[in-house]
Amino acid sequence: MIYPEVPEPLGIVMHLHGGGSTGASALKSGLAGEAHSRGYIFVAPNGEHPEARWTKDWSVRADNMEFERDDAEFLARVLTDIRSNTDLSEAPVLLSGFSRGGSMVWNMACWQPEFADAYAPLAGAFWERLPTRCVQPLYLFHTHGWTDRVVPLEGRSFFDDTVVQGDVWASLKVLRETNGCGKRQPETSTFDGELWLRHWTDCDAGRIDLMLHKGGHSAPEGWGPRMLDWFEELELR
């Protein structure tokens, strides 16, 4: 599903909904409106797995979970269709997602990094078993609530510990090693009101930004504009 067309679009913003939700709900979000107002095509596909434990979901890599659709392939087809029906064959792409959609963003960033130019997961990270390293360095801006109990920063387990959410800190470690962040600690750490930010900008390649907020399983106020500002500051066009 695509947000209404914009004249001379700057690029594509694709957002993956959370588990149990739909792309239609994302089309009504503030992120959709913000992306459209800046001149982006906004795309919100549906995660559909009728035979899985969670039907409105994405095929996030995890031990002891199986899906009938490979969503990495599905999203690639969606993007190909968008490019073939617009003048955006070379336009930059930002992939964002919330919760399970955020976890799918981590998967795409790690295993299919050529899919998008930058990645912005919200309240979702890898599920176990975590990779030891991603395919190549990348740009990623992760946002998480300090009091999130649905996807805690340290993860949690389901189904008698057979399916386990990954630890966000461990996910970031994988990415630091992939990007060659030899110093481990961020180059800068800043505060902006009730937001805590850490920036790994001096790695061998790519960039990692982490934003924590005091809330739970949700986006902090102003997340959409801030995330799009970050994407535009990368100057990927």
What is the CATH number for 219?
Answer: 3.40.50.1820
Q: In this predicted structure, which of 56-60, 159-163, 220-224 has the lowest mean pLDDT?
A: 159-163
Residue 204 pLDDT grade (very low, low, confident, very high; cuts 50, 70, 90):
very high
What pLDDT sits at residue 102?
A: 98
- Alpha-carbon distance of 120 to 147, in angstroms, equals 20
pLDDT at 2 exceeding the cut of 80: no
Helix (H) or strand (E) holding 168: helix 168-179
Whether 6 maps to a domain, the answer reads no
- Alpha-carbon distance of 121 to 94, in angstroms, equals 10
Whether 163 maps to a domain, the answer reads yes
What pLDDT sits at residue 161?
A: 87
Whether 192 maps to a domain, the answer reads yes
- In angstroms, the Cα distances linking 233 to 148, 151, 216, 229, 237 are 28, 29, 27, 6, 10
Whether 140 maps to a domain, the answer reads yes
Contacting residues for 233 by C-beta, under 8 A, at least 6 apart: none
Mean of all residue pLDDT scores within the chain: 93
Q: Residue range 79-105: average pLDDT? A: 92
Residues 146-195: tens digit of each pLDDT: 999 999 999 999 988 899 999 999 999 999 999 999 989 999 999 999 99
Whether 83 maps to a domain, the answer reads yes
Half-sphere exposure of 188 (CA within 13 A, CB side): 8
Residue 206: domain span = 11-233
Residue 7 pLDDT grade (very low, low, confident, very high; cuts 50, 70, 90):
low
Whether 2 maps to a domain, the answer reads no
Whether 3 maps to a domain, the answer reads no
Whether 5 maps to a domain, the answer reads no
pLDDT at 58 exceeding the cut of 70: yes
What pLDDT sits at residue 64?
A: 81
Half-sphere exposure of 170 (CA within 13 A, CB side): 14
- Alpha-carbon distance of 190 to 105, in angstroms, equals 25
How many domains is the chain built from?
1
